[in-house]
């Protein structure tokens, strides 16, 4: 807190500085950077530092970039004895000193004799703007592009000449386009003729993204000429429409992504609940076991063969399937087969199993979240138009569809699938044809559980791997299966995707939690209306 006299002093100083600063900037056009950079030395105010930064930038000498970078990174020091400015590198004591412009070694100094040139965030911004115009001349295209982008955001009318020069010298079309856009942004803020401004608006309108929208909105609000105002507003409107379209597309994408997660979690349930009619409340724990298998596999790989890490998920997939399928088999043989025909008891017993599995995992792996790594090919993101697509989400959608297709294939094209369908449709007849129905029951349940384990491998990539992982999915999964229609895999697909998209479209209006509540309430109402789901089974096999 500044006291009043102190504040008055600061004000007076500021006024003085403003006069000095404008004079100095005019003078410094031809100034020597080596002299200007010394102005950082001694105890100065933030305002003085900022003025010096601007002065340095105005010299247009690429060499000052070194000093400015050092300033931004807090490596610019001055010697207390003679106020000379140096770059100090290395963390040791004494510090190695470098010349601020040439970067040549300039001896050593104990850190006690040096003081850091203090900066704050607004100065950092000034520095990065200044660096933006300086690095336009850099030989590295990536740096030039970055500079052009920085300039676009903070373009000022004074930079038009610099930009013109850069555009003339630029060979690469991409960077050239960016520079021209930056120039257009600068033109809009200047007092150039109307025709030039209209051309600039057209150029910005064709860029059509959020940054361009910001510049155009500012132009339409701040410009005096009616024609420019109208043109800017129109271009801004057009960009808003494009952005709205992409936001829509992004929502659909998020929805599909959530839908694929729901599909993965629910598809195993579609087998055990949908085909067999068994309520398995421990289904979520099968997903959790899959996720923990992934964790265990990654830990082993990290310890034994780090080079295989990229393959960890591929190795974890079959293992997770086997682990969950085996646990499912044990549950079916040990508990569920005694409870067939008593769905409510099955529900309770499997809920007990889920508690035991949760506590078991908690005892073995601990109650905290475990870290499951993303292999390289699953991390990162790329842009499509104005929407960003992360690789792991994309892979999960692809993976969910593959699992779905594989399951359809197993049920429709293998003898096991044929027997499963036969047993579901007419148990006595199937038994009379020589099918071992208890064995088929066990295999069906193991298949559904194994699929849940596979889902756990995928979900470990986007969710916290903790003993409670499964609980979060169980209600959603049941909702998906019931919504899609029991006993119908395609219904599960459609149900998962439509619930996912509905959820994501409600979120902007209602918030994430309220959106979820609305979906739950809508689902409850839906079940009242169509108790057998979206795609109800028809015909003689529907249970009475």
Instruction: Between 381 and 524, name the residue whose CB sits nearer to other proteins.
Output: 524
Nearest distance from residue 499's CB to other proteins, in Å? 12
Told to check if 345 binds other proteins by CB under 8 A, we report: yes
205 Cβ contact list (under 8 Å, min separation 6): 212, 216, 235, 238, 239
Instruction: Identify the residue among 137, 199, 322, 339 touching other proteins (CB under 8 A).
Output: 339
Instruction: Between 23 and 334, name the residue whose CB sits nearer to other proteins.
Output: 334
Cβ contact 148:179 at 8 Å? yes
Instruction: Between 85 and 481, name the residue whose CB sits nearer to other proteins.
Output: 481
Told to check if 525 binds other proteins by CB under 8 A, we report: yes
Instruction: Identify the residue among 12, 409, 524, 542 touching other proteins (CB under 8 A).
Output: 524
Q: Which residues lie across from 95 on neighbouring strands?
A: 109
Instruction: Identify the residue among 326, 351, 365, 391 touching other proteins (CB under 8 A).
Output: 351
C-alpha–C-alpha distance, residues 226 and 236, integer Å: 15
Nearest distance from residue 474's CB to other proteins, in Å? 9
Question: Which 3 state secondary structure label does DSSP give 65?
Answer: helix
Instruction: Between 50 and 441, name the residue whose CB sits nearer to other proteins.
Output: 441
Nearest distance from residue 432's CB to other proteins, in Å? 14
Instruction: Identify the residue among 347, 394, 408, 536 touching other proteins (CB under 8 A).
Output: 347
User: What residues numbered 424-453 form the site for other proteins, per CB under 8 A?
Assistant: 424, 427, 437-438, 441
Give the binding range for other proteins (CB under 8 A) out of 247-255, 388-396, 456-464, 513-521.
Answer: 513-521
CA 426 to mean position of chain CA atoms = 49
Told to check if 237 binds other proteins by CB under 8 A, we report: no
Told to check if 343 binds other proteins by CB under 8 A, we report: yes
Instruction: Identify the residue among 303, 344, 509, 539 touching other proteins (CB under 8 A).
Output: 344
Q: What six digits make up the tokens of 295?
A: 């964790």
Nearest distance from residue 506's CB to other proteins, in Å? 13
DSSP string computed for 389-410:
EEHHHHHHHHHHHHHHHHHHHH
In the chain, count of helices (H) and strands (E)? 21, 7
Phi, psi of 88 (to 5 degrees): -110, 125
Nearest distance from residue 79's CB to other proteins, in Å? 51
Give the per-residue contact string, 352-371, with other proteins (x = CB under 8 A; - = no).
xxxxx-xxx-xx--------
270 Cβ contact list (under 8 Å, min separation 6): 448, 481, 484, 488, 489, 492
Nearest distance from residue 387's CB to other proteins, in Å? 28
Nearest to 447 by CA among 260, 273, 261: 273
Question: Which 3 state secondary structure label does DSSP give 199?
Answer: helix
User: What residues numbered 21-40 form the site for other proteins, per CB under 8 A?
Assistant: none
Instruction: Between 25 and 339, name the residue whose CB sits nearer to other proteins.
Output: 339
CA 217 to mean position of chain CA atoms = 27
Q: What is the DSSP letter of 368?
A: S
Nearest to 311 by CA among 375, 382, 260: 375
Told to check if 18 binds other proteins by CB under 8 A, we report: no
- Can you state the angle between helices 141-153 and 210-222, rounded to 10 degrees? 30
Instruction: Identify the residue among 238, 335, 410, 462 touching other proteins (CB under 8 A).
Output: 335
At CA 434, angle to CA 432 and CA 437, rounded to 5?
85
Told to check if 528 binds other proteins by CB under 8 A, we report: yes
Told to check if 180 binds other proteins by CB under 8 A, we report: no
Nearest distance from residue 426's CB to other proteins, in Å? 10
Nearest distance from residue 372's CB to other proteins, in Å? 24
Q: What six digits make up the tokens of 296?
A: 């265990």
Instruction: Between 145 and 527, name the residue whose CB sits nearer to other proteins.
Output: 527
CB count in 10 Å sphere of residue 21:
18
Told to check if 59 binds other proteins by CB under 8 A, we report: no
Sheet holding 85-89, edge to edge: 105-109, 95-98, 85-89, 76-79, 114-116
C-alpha–C-alpha distance, residues 88 and 84, integer Å: 12
Give the per-residue contact string, 464-493, with other proteins (x = CB under 8 A; - = no).
-------x---x--xx--x-----------
Instruction: Identify the residue among 43, 342, 413, 436 touching other proteins (CB under 8 A).
Output: 342
Question: Which 3 state secondary structure label does DSSP give 85?
Answer: strand
Give the binding range for other proteins (CB under 8 A) out of 8-16, 24-32, 259-267, 519-527.
Answer: 519-527
Cβ contact 479:312 at 8 Å? no
Instruction: Between 217 and 437, name the residue whose CB sits nearer to other proteins.
Output: 437
C-alpha–C-alpha distance, residues 266 and 262, integer Å: 6
Told to check if 391 binds other proteins by CB under 8 A, we report: no
Element spanning 418, H or E: helix 415-425
Q: Which residues lie across from 98 on neighbouring strands?
A: 87, 105
Q: How many residues of this chain bind other proteins (CB under 8 A)?
A: 53
Binding site for other proteins (CB under 8 A): 276-279, 335, 337-349, 351-356, 358-360, 362-363, 424, 427, 437-438, 441, 471, 475, 478-479, 482, 513-514, 516-517, 520-521, 523-525, 527-529, 531, 543
């Amino acid at each position: 807190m500044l006291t009043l006299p102190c504040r008055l002093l600061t004000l007076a100083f500021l006024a003085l500085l403003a006069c000095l600063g404008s004079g100095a900037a005019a003078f410094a056009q031809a100034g020597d950077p080596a002299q200007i950079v010394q102005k950082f030395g001694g105890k100065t105010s933030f305002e003085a530092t900022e003025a010096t930064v601007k002065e340095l930038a105005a010299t247009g000498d690429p060499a000052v970039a070194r000093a400015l970078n050092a300033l931004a990174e807090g490596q610019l020091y001055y010697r207390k004895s003679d106020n000379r400015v140096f770059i100090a590198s290395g963390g040791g004591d004494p510090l190695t000193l470098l010349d601020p412009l040439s970067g040549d070694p300039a001896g050593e100094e104990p850190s006690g004799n040096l003081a850091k040139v203090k900066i704050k965030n607004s100065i950092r911004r000034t520095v990065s703007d200044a660096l933006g115009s300086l690095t336009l001349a850099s030989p590295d295209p990536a740096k030039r592009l970055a500079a052009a982008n920085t300039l676009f955001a903070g373009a000022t009318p004074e930079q038009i000449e610099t930009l013109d020069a850069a555009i003339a010298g630029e060979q690469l079309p991409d960077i050239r386009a960016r520079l021209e856009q930056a120039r257009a942004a600068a033109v809009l803020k200047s007092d150039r003729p109307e025709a030039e401004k209209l051309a600039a608006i057209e150029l910005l309108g064709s860029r059509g993204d959020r940054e361009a929208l910001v510049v155009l909105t500012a132009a339409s609000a701040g410009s005096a000429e009616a024609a420019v105002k109208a043109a800017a507003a129109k271009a801004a409107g057009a960009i808003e429409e494009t952005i709205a379209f992409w936001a829509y597309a992004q929502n659909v994408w998020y929805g599909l992504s959530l839908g694929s997660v729901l599909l993965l979690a629910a598809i195993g349930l579609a087998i055990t609940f949908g085909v067999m009619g068994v309520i398995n409340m421990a289904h979520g724990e099968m997903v959790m076991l899959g996720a923990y298998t992934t964790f265990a596999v990654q830990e082993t790989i990290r310890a034994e063969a780090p080079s295989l890490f990229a393959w960890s998920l591929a190795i974890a997939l079959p293992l997770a399937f086997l682990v969950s399928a085996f646990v499912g088999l044990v549950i079916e043989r040990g508990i569920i087969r005694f409870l067939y025909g008593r769905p409510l008891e099955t529900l309770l017993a499997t809920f007990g199993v889920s508690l035991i599995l949760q506590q078991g995992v908690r005892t073995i792996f601990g109650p905290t979240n475990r870290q499951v790594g993303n292999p390289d090919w699953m991390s990162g993101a790329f842009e499509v138009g104005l929407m960003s697509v992360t690789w792991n989400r994309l892979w999960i959608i692809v993976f969910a569809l593959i699992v779905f297709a594989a399951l359809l294939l197993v049920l429709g094209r293998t003898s096991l699938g044929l027997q499963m369908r036969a047993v579901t449709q007419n148990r006595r007849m199937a038994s009379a044809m020589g099918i071992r129905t208890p064995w088929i029951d066990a295999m069906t349940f193991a298949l559904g559980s194994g699929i849940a384990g596979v889902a756990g491998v995928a979900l470990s990539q986007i969710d916290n791997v903790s003993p409670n992982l499964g609980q979060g999915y169980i209600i959603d999964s049941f909702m998906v299966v019931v919504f899609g229609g029991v006993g119908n895999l395609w219904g599960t697909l459609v149900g998962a995707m439509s619930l996912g998209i509905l959820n994501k479209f409600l979120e902007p209006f209602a918030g994430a939690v309220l959106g979820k509540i609305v979906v739950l309430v809508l689902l409850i109402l839906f079940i009242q209306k169509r108790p057998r789901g979206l795609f109800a089974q028809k015909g003689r096999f529907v249970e009475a």
